[in-house]
Structure 1
Amino acid sequence: MATSADGVTDRGAGPTRPALRGAAPLLGLLVTGAASPLPDGHGHLSGGEAASFLTAPLAAALGITGLLAAALVAGTALLRGADAPTRRTAIAAEAGAGYAVAVLALGWLGGGAGALASVPRTLAVVAAAVLVARARRVPTVAAGVLLAGLLAVETLLTFGPAAAGLVVSVVAGLGVLAAVACADDPVAELRRRTPLAAVALVGAAAAAAAGAVVDGLRPDAVSATSGAGVVLVTGLLLLAVTAAGWVRGRDPAHRRAAAGAAAAGSVALVSLTALLALPAPVALPDEGRPLLRTVALGGLTVPVAVVPQRPGPNLVFVGDPPGTAPTGPAPVTDVTAGGVPAAARDGAPGHWAVVDLPAGAGELVVTSGAHRAVLRLRTGADPAPADLVAGLTGPDGPECLSAVVGALVREGAEVPAACPAGALTDTDAATLRSTVRFLADRDAPSLHVVDDGSPRSTAAAAVARDAAAAHGLPLSDGVATSGAVLVVAGWETGGRRLVDEALGLSTVFGTYAAPWLATGPVLGRQTGAVTALTVDPRAEPAQRYVADLRASGVTGLASPAGLAAWGATADGGPRIFTAVQVSVMPGDHAHATDTWLPGGTFTAVTPPLPV
């Protein structure tokens, strides 16, 4: 917008008739158009949407450049209103108004009536440009003040106080730079405007930096390589160049420095204003608290969890895109987290890796083939409790992470300090006793208990054997096709045994799973196993839990442990539930939308069992 004084050859003393006639078609366009809306700070448009011929980036660019054009007119009106205008001043104001009205027309074509909210701003732009050309000093300054106020209020309501301060500084800065570029004696004008220029440039730098901090930019690699970070650093460096050129340009022997300062300052202000259209980097996580994020890998939105996000070994979960099964985008493959291959695990969804993280701020790089994403980390200085780390990094780590995620997705829930497999709860013990009693009442000839040696599994096996002895149910050392099987192992061992052993032998009295095995990856593979639960997965609390998981893209991690950490409590005595593969027709609102079990649902097949 600002040009070098050395390139100006036409120095009219005042406005001309052609300049006045140039405003007439602008007013005509104003009647037929509506302004293009500003982006909402996340790369999207607010107000009217862009037409099909306007891509989202182009529409955002039009909104930002339209804002800059209005700021140029406002600054010119404020600074030149008290002076006799030159022809170049009028041309600069008319150019800004012309561009604003062009954006106005495109916005009307793209957004229709939804873009009418920006008409007052464009009216003020055109009015201020006409007044600059007509040398009406007091009305010109008033129009400049009104236009600057409109811009400030618009950005305040859309982006917040820091953005409003940036726009006010940009108005003053562009006004100063235009005054220097259009002056007959740029050096003299530069000296005259130095105090205001210093305030404008410092204000722009401070407002941009404050807005960047609010948006989550920090002095780290993730911010520095983000689009917003690159633009911010570029703008601040150009402001430094502008300041240096401004100081040097005050000397008449260095006239070109004045032109260079004006050019650098213009680009700097444009760059800083462009921050309004750029998405901010992902917000910093809470220090030392488990992290749950979604990242983009090759155009797919993929959930990633890092638990406990403390120094030392951490369990990293990289999920598949929502809707992967049974139909949907192909799951991510060849996954690594922090350079460690992330592999699938029996009885668990997605991909898993144990990654050692250093203390303090850092980043975790997640890759899938040629695609990569970077997560910001703040592990803090204190390692996690040894028992929690041992549980996360052991075979029952996925269940432990699902419990943590259950707490993370509900605001106010307390993150578990221990893994579920570390101890058998009283509720699960009572449920197992009811299950064994149910089998004894059905006259099952024998019961085989499958455990995996973990503390919970060992305690559960002891409870089951004691209950069997109390109810006269014989125990068998192996799977007997005429008897029943009770699996009290964790996800990994339990899921593998359910498929490879119990299902293959098809026991007469069936295969029963411990409550913690009621997950999609374990029971949702048509194993034929059933389980006793004290919470109905189709009831309202469980459905709200699943909805919270769905909002974070991690419904595959739905589990009884996660439901308990989320805050649900038992809604009655234990009942036997079976996993049923169902297909609900669209529009059937008589059934709960149960995504706990992909492609199926858990259905109660008994009334509450005696405890």
Structure 2
Amino acid sequence: MREDRARRFVPRLLLPVLVSPVLLLALAGPAWAQTGWGAGGGSRDAVDTLLPWPLLAVLGVVALVSSALVAGTAALGFLAPPSRSSMLLVQSAAAVAVVALVIRCVGGGISAFAALPQAAGAAVIAVLFARGARSASAVGGVLLTAALAYDATIGHTDWHVGLAAVHMVAAVTWLGAAVLVATPACGARFTVVRRVTLVFAVSAVMAVSAAALEAVAKGMRFDAVTATSLTGLLVLIQALGMLVAVSTGLCRPGAVGGRVVAYSAGLVFTAGSVLMLVTPPPAPAEPGRPLLRTVALADQDAPVVVVPQRPGRNLVHVGMAGALVGGVRAEERPGAPGGWAVVDLPAGTDVLTVEAGGEQVSLRLDLGPDPAPPALVAGLTGPDGPECLSAVVGRLLRGAADLPAACPADALSEADAATLRATVRFLGDRDVPALYLVTDGSRRSAAAAAVVREAAAGNGLPVANRLDRADAALVVAGWEVGGRKLTDEALSLSSVARTYTAPWLATNAVLGRQTGAVTTLDFDPLDVSAQRYLADLRAAGLTPLASPAGFRAWTAPGDAGPAVAGPRIFASVQISMMPTGAGEMDNRTTDPWLPGGSLTPVTPPLPR
């Protein structure tokens, strides 16, 4: 009769191990869209696996929980003689672990080098434990616990390595203690509880403390973002399950209490295992500093930039057009990539929602107490806002903590003025009949037009009021007007002498559309410094925002970059180029300034 009860009890103990991963992952369907496929398990877009990622996730959690159950129970077997229930439980868990590891290995979710030793170890430990070899099985349990702790540290750095290892060891130990409390031999329940109480309580405290420190390190806070995320749900399950298991195991270790401890412990460890696979909620923002984040929306990773992240009007860039940002639709803008929205953020706002494709992500904000400089806000919310945002991103990637006082379109820099004079001189030397100017209402455009007219007069080059086919066109407008004009076939194809642009228009959204226009730059996009800027943008997922304004803001003050003999005219070509001295970049192909193409010099350095 007792043996029959034990055999019926074991499947009940294994039920949380087998069912919980499926339920947690199924219920978390909407949350996966917010968090992405996490740090421990791969990617939704993985193409080198035979099985779908949800099944691999379930198998991984089942294998981890089953192995931990075997390791923890065997490692603490010296505290109490194994009961028939505990032996059957360890044997069943080992069988489940072996099957899950083998299927996961065959399906491509884990290498044979990692799966087979763990499967073999679980099987050997189960045999030793069932035969009453308590010392040998305890050693095996300790070794398997160490292996699981090592696996838990993968992907961590610095002090997080030790914290992850302590968390796993404490959790495995607590799970083993819970099994001993739940499955003692008949008549020995109070004796076992008395022996295991200290281990049960200390391991629970260590596991909870390590989990709390890991959660804080990952950016979790007691706020709405965490509470509505999959991570917050799993942490709540862990906390409640741990409380129920510990209080029941220590206060009421009866037959019913044993089942409660077993179910709670299995659910707690399963929730913790799933938590390892989940990307945590977005980290807290730095107070009053522009926000850069990447979120998973509509089956793609989309960058989100909030500038200046201060009380009042803010410009938000999303890597996809049409998304809703704080209820405002991020629209496409001429000459700028992605979607753009001007959002009013009252003081004290701590969450910004981004919605696309029926999915919603919440981003943490910390606006700080001080408003942004008025000139900066006016520039960000005006027609030249995208260029201003790209310049702020450049400063942010450089590590600058302060905000600029104004936007690039507020004034014409000396470098750009010199480049425009060189362009006009080049056109005058080619005997171009006349020059047609394209301007807008910005102060920089007005100053640039004045410089061009002065240089044209000095070089005997008339400035025409209307475009003639034989004339050259020079665009000194901003991204919005310049991008709209350059995509107008009438302008790009009507000039025999070609269309030239101001340096600040050397962006993919303006020049990367085969407009036929060329630009004059006083730096080479293939140089090492420009490539480092592009690498920083790529790491942030913001390569489309590459711009001369961003590059100059990224360059530290006083760093003039490589010396140049003079500005050169660059044309957009649809090929990738290798830089001169590629060895300085570890022999890697350069990042293109224009994705899918390259800016290539077509003239020698022009006289200054």
2:566 counterpart residue number: 573
Superimposed CA distance per residue, residues 93-139 of structure 1 (whole angstroms, 9 cap, x where no aligned partner): 22232223323433553459942345544444344333333333444
Query: Greater Rg, structure 1 or structure 2?
Result: 1
Aligned with 1:149: secondary structure? Answer: helix
Deviation, 1:257, is: 4.0
Matched, 1:384 2:377: no
User: CA deviation digits over 1:343-401, x for unaligned, max 9?
Assistant: 22222222211111244562322223534333332332222222211111111111111
Q: Deviations over 1:60-111 (max 9, x none)?
A: 3333332322322233234332443332232222223222332343355345
Question: Residue 148 of structure 2 aligns with which residue?
Answer: 151
Identity fraction in percent = 49
CA distance in 1, matches of 2:528, 2:137: 63
Check whether the contact 2:323–2:354 (CA below 8 A) recurs between aligned residues: yes
Aligned equivalent of 1:351: 339
- State the partner residue of 2:241: 238
1:43·1:57 contact (CA, 8 Å) conserved in 2? no
In the superposition, relative to structure 1, how do residues 144 and 530 fare at CA in structure 2: closer, same or farther (>3 Å)? closer
152-161 or 424-433, which deviates more: 152-161
1:281 aligns with 2:276: no
Residues in 2 aligned to 1:281 and 1:245: alpha-carbon distance in whole angstroms = 32
- State the distance in 2 between where 1:140 and 1:523 align: 69
* CA shift for structure 1 position 507: 4.2
Residue ranges of structure 1 left out of the alignment (5+ in a row): 1-5, 13-39, 321-331
Q: Which residue of 2 aligns with 1:105?
A: 102
- Counterpart of 2:341 in 1: which secondary structure? strand
Give 1:419's aligned residue.
Answer: 407
TM-score by length of 1: 0.80
Amino acid across the alignment from 1:486: L
Change (3 A) 1:112 1:452: closer
- The residue that corresponds to 1:561 in the other structure is 549
How has the CA–CA distance of structure 1 residues 342 and 148 changed in structure 2, closer, same or farther, with 3 Å as cutoff?
closer
Paired residue type of 2:566 = G
1:80 aligns to 2:77 (yes or no): yes
Query: Which residue matches 1:44?
Result: 41
Q: Return the offset for 1:478.
A: 4.2
In 2, Cα distance between the equivalents of 1:610 and 1:42?
A: 54
| Inter-CA distance 437–218: structure 2 relative to 1 (3 Å threshold) | same
AA of the residue aligned to 1:383: P
Q: Structure 2 length as normaliser, TM-score? A: 0.81
- Report how many residues are paired: 559
Aligned match of 2:361: 373
Cα deviation, residue 577, structure 1: 2.6
2:126 aligned to which of 103, 124, 129: 129
- Matched with 1:32 is none
Deviating more after overlay: 483-492 vs 346-355 = 483-492
| 1:487 and 2:475 aligned | yes
CA contact (8 A) 2:49 2:109 kept: no
Aligned-partner Cα distance in 2 for 1:429–1:316: 30
Answer whether contact 2:79 2:196 (CA < 8 A) is retained: no
Distance change >3 Å, CA 585–CA 247, structure 1 → 2:
closer
| Aligned position for 1:31 | none
Counterpart-to-counterpart distance in 2, 1:607 and 1:548: 29
Q: Report deviation, 1:508.
A: 5.0
Secondary structure (helix, strand or coil) at the match of 1:378 reads coil
The one-letter amino acid paired with 2:54 is P
Task: Classify 1:604/1:230 alpha carbon distance in 2 versus 1 (closer, same or farther; 3 Å).
Answer: same
Matches within 5 A, 1:21-40: none
**Residues of 2 paired with 1:494 and 1:112: CA distance?**
50
Contact 1:292 1:305 (8 Å CA) reproduced: yes
Counterpart for residue 174 of structure 2? 173
Q: Is the 8 A contact 1:81 1:136 kept in 2?
A: no
Task: Determine helix, strand or coil for the equivalent of 1:350.
Answer: strand
Q: For each residue in 1:188-223, what CA deviation from the matched residue of structure 2 results, as whole angstroms up to 9, or x when unmatched?
A: 544553333222222222222222222232222222
State the match for 2:206 in structure 1: 203
Contact 1:190-1:258 at 8 Å conserved across structures: no
* Counterpart for residue 524 of structure 1: 512
Seen in structure 2, the aligned counterparts of structure 1 residues 508 and 41 have a Cα distance that, compared at 3 Å, is: closer
Identify the residue that residue 16 of structure 2 maps to in structure 1: none
